[in-house]
Structure 1
Amino acid sequence: MSPPERLEHIVVVGAGAAGLAGVETLRREGFTGQLTLIGDESAPPYDRPPLSKQALAGTWDFPQVLLRPTHHYAELDVGLRTGRLAIGLDLPQRRLRLDQGEQLAFGGLLITTGVAPRRLPFDDGLKGVHVLRDEQDAAELREHLRKEPRVVVIGAGFLGLEVAAVVRNLGMDVTVVDPQPVPMERQLGREAGTLVAALHRDRGVRLRTGIGVTGLVGSSGWVTGVRLSDGAVLDADCVLVAIGATPRVEWLRSSALPVADGVECDAFCRAVPGVYAAGDVASWPSARYGRRMRLEHRMNATEQGIVAARNLLHGNVEAFDPLPYFWTDQYQVKIQVHGVIPNGAEMVIAEGDPADGAFVALFHEAGRPVGALGWNKPKDIRRYRQELLESTSSEVCETGA
């Protein structure tokens, strides 16, 4: 495909990992025009995974989570605009609307606005109820934990369980509630999720799974408890709501840009000509897995930011179809997944033994391996990545081989 018309100004909206990868790629691959990176937070781009681990535990200060030193953006000749919010998009006029009435004209646009945490519909503005998405959230939760409160975590996914592990390591009381019967079943499958449940129970976390939350209890403006669907009330001085996230696309709904579960892109990360998306906010058709995908994984943000920027600059030269990779650290356990773990897939141990606390497992779909999980096997699991790349290639999927 031929390159797009000459671009004089490219705007990247979203100053996270995907946005940073985008601006760095544009400069590295020869873009010499005006380049603007817009972020709604006051800080320059930083890494989010440490917020629920090292930053929350207090072992890292905020400067340690910055993705680049602050002088990096001047050296790249990138106009970094922090603390600014995109509120609308005029596609025909190629104009981006910002808060405070400002408009920016652009030739190319890369959307990397990420996701926003879901909130409870009934928190009633009670103090002591937290979400954890950005640095300010982490600072507020960390400050609250210094009072050694009784903590209830609503949601037994990656975020909720990583925070639960930090809280227990700090010696505090913590209960995790989730309507699913097994923690992390959607991400890791039932068998591995059962092992995660045992990991937390063995360290003193109370798990209330298979039960919902119907309300919060408060006194003098502060949360004092969490009401469950069976009528029980859990005492709580601090509540973390970790029930997932939604793509940040509300500001785009009046623009005629295709948005549903995120910005809907083609295989090249293109939403419409001249407008691309990457990271948590973007969905795309995966030939590898034969389905539309949207991934909220750290490595995907960087990889997709690179490919989207390259295609924006050069004209759809590279389809984006990665083998997903994600990880979680809980206590002294590192869990890594390459590929995907389909719903209901059987876990087959490839090496090691769960009883010994270190193993690699494979997951199959339609007779072929599509995912691998490593439990305290960071070196060994790498050997399975090439096998997964070959077994899930688009050629294999199309031929049924």
Structure 2
Amino acid sequence: MNNIPAHIPPALVWDHSFDRFTAEMEDPFLAASRLHAGPPLIWATDAAYGRPGWIATRHDLIDEIFLDHEHFSAERPGMIGEMIGVDLRLNPIEIDPPAHHAYRRNLNPVFTPKAMSALEDAVRQTCAMLVQIFAARGECDFIADFAVPFPSYIFLDLMDLPRDMAPTFLKWEEDLMRGGEVSDRVGAARAIYQYLCDHKDRQVADPSNPLNRAIVDGHFEGRPLDHLEMMGMYYVLWVGGLDTVYSTLGWVMHHLATHPDLQARLAEHPELVPQAVEEFTRAYSVVVTHRRVARDFEFHGVAMKAGEEVHLPLALANRDPDRFADPHRVRIDRKSRHIAFGTGVHNCLGVHLAKREIRIVIEEFLRQFSHIRLAGEDAMQFHTGRTFGVDRLRLCWDRRDGSE
């Protein structure tokens, strides 16, 4: 309880580590939701990586913070740029309007629903190829055998990066996001940056596909993007493309494996899968994002100071009992707006691709397998942190074609 800033009301001080708190139970979403019993805004002595900061615990506050970029800035110092020693901003998510709009305009055409529809066959083929490897075994570690490589291959194809480098990329991603030592995170951040620099230089010389062309031929206020602006785009796509979807897929498949009635319903009525994806992403919102207080001001009666971190656990927003009836229950017929992919100008650029990937995985697994279930008592292991993810998920099943 030492070094609490004088302006923080004692009643709002929460002397805990958010990451350890959310790992205390068998379900991190239920563990996090214990914060709903307290104030809507708390000051955590360890909000992330040992640093103190605010945590918003309610949907309406998190939604308001997303929309108020004048007081809650996405342009925060440090992070990736500090680790690699250059003035790099993840572009455009660490840039506020109006500049945000000008940068994002370069990428938007590549991620429209129509553009993502053109990837449908390629995504489904990648899914089928990975499933074929273990289908006849009757069991798999869903995370290692499928959930990690599947979105990784999609991302690598989209970026025109080599699939055979996936194990190296994923090791870097693991160290960057969850490295136990600062040196691990810094080393990974620098390795990723150097690799992407080389990739960017090759693309400047000869852009190989629409996404790379959008970056290296991009413009900001009438001029070409410079090196750091392009690198910010490459880096944000790396971070977003390799972590979030695999984490969500783990929770979705765990839910289906432990809820046979829903599994059977979706298998019998595949037309319901898209609305199930919406409910799954609400109930299993895996990301904890954050903002920086832009200037001293009062927010809902609480004094906030410039530079303070404000953490936004999307699981707390989307399981808020004041917003969603019976919030911990997955009800695919629920008609409610969630913010699993953020909201406002910083809503997730890859939302249409992510939903398509999740939908195709559910469709393909339920088309080929029945009675998907956990394989053994110690079938599942997870982590918390900036992303809630599943590390191990052992599954078994019956083949729908009756083969052994």
TM class by shorter-chain length? under 0.3
Task: Give the structure with the larger helix fraction.
Answer: 2
Compute the TM-score of the two structures, normalised by the length of structure 1.
0.28
Compute the TM-score of the two structures, normalised by the length of structure 2.
0.28
Higher relative contact order (CA 8 A, sep 6+): 2
